[in-house]
């Protein structure tokens, strides 16, 4: 279970952003909606432990995120939170299999080869495992980044504008995959978007 309480953040010579309290129960799927510049990305960065807020608390399964040391936080994030960025951000020098396996080894989790293979084939990438990121399409790369986010069986899956750079068909696909995989892996899901196509696809909404 994830909860945020009285969160505010103030960028250096930027606006002060206030975030309403929020509780996400296990395996719930949420849309994070708001206008451009309303602070969606900022909130997701705070929840995933990448950006320390000025005030307030973030709890994930009884762990107060910002009471952890930097190093503990990195590890906690690696093991409990899967992040999907707008761009796939894969490591160019590693092939697809290694890119996914890397998430395990960096989080200090033993690499589970069959888990990696299962994930990749459930995302339709079983014949691309030995290819390098340059050899894949945008949609395929986005699917690899989903596999990477899921490989450590995180409690929370976060996606920031996962569809904005994809065409209708791919956007629909990625959305389906996200909801389906989150359910299969018993993870809570939060998708931040201002993409009209995504609206009404998830039943819960948090508005900024």
Partner 1 sequence: MNILRLSTKNLLRNKLTTFLNIILVAFGVAILTILFLASTQIGDKLEQNAKDIDLVVGAKGSPLQLILSSIYHIDFPTGNIPLKDATELMQNPMVKRAVPLALGDNFQGHRIVGTDSGFVSLYGLKLVAGKFWSRDLEATIGSGVAAEAHLKVGDKFFGAHGLSDASDEHKHHAYTVTGILQAQGNITDNLILTNIGSVYKMHEPDHDEHEAQKEAEISNKEITSILIQYRSPMSVVIFPRMVNQSTNMQAASPAMESARLFSLIGVGIETLKWFALLIMAISALSVFISLYNAMKEKKYDLAVMRSLGASKAKLFFLVMLEGLLITVSGAILGLFIGHLALHMIAHYQESSQARLTGLYFVTDELYLIIAGLVIGVVASILPAIQIYRVDIAQTLSKEK
Ligand X SMILES: Nc1ncnc2c1ncn2[C@@H]1O[C@H](COP(=O)(O)OP(=O)(O)OP(=O)(O)O)[C@@H](O)[C@H]1O
The site for Mg ion (CB under 5 A) is made up of 41
Asked if 14 touches ligand X (CB under 6 A), the answer is: yes
Rounded CA separation 41/74 (Å): 19
Q: Whole-angstrom Cα distance, residue 177 to residue 122?
A: 9
Long-range contacts of 129-135 (CB under 8 A, 24+ apart): 129/95, 129/96, 129/97, 130/95, 130/96, 130/97, 131/95, 131/96, 132/92, 132/94, 132/95, 132/96, 133/88, 133/90, 133/91, 133/92, 133/96, 133/99, 134/92
Q: Which is nearer to ligand X, 11 or 66 (CB)?
A: 11
Tell me how many residues contact ligand X (CB under 6 A). 12
Q: Which of residues 109-128 bind partner 1 (CB under 8 A)?
A: 111
35 forms part of the interface with partner 1 (CB under 8 A): no
Give the interface size with partner 1 as a residue count (CB under 8 A): 34
Q: Map residues 37-76 to x or -, x wherever contact with ligand X holds by CB under 6 A.
A: xxxxxx----------------------------------
Tell me how far, at minimum, the Cβ of 131 lies from partner 1, in Å.
15
Q: Residues interacting with ligand X, by CB under 6 A?
A: 11, 14-15, 34, 36-42, 194
């Amino acid at each position: 279970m994830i909860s945020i309480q009285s969160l505010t953040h103030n960028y250096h010579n930027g606006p002060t952003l206030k975030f309403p309290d929020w509780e996400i129960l296990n395996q719930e799927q949420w849309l994070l909606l708001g206008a451009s510049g309303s602070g969606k990305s900022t909130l997701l960065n705070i929840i995933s432990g990448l950006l320390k807020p000025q005030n307030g608390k973030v709890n994930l399964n009884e762990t107060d995120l910002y009471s952890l040391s930097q190093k503990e936080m990195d590890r906690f994030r690696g093991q409990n939170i899967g992040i999907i960025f707008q761009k796939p951000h894969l490591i160019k020098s590693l092939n697809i299999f290694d890119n996914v396996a890397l998430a395990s080894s960096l989080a200090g989790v033993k690499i589970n080869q069959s888990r990696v293979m299962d994930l990749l084939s459930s995302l339709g990438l079983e014949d691309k495992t030995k290819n390098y990121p340059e050899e894949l399409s945008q949609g395929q790369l986005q699917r690899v980044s989903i596999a990477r986010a899921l490989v450590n069986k995180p409690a929370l899956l976060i996606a920031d504008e996962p569809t904005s750079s994809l065409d209708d068909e791919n956007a629909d696909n990625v959305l389906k995959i996200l909801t389906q995989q989150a359910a299969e892996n018993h993870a809570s899901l939060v998708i931040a978007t201002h993409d009209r196509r995504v609206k009404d696809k998830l039943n819960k909404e948090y508005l900024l």
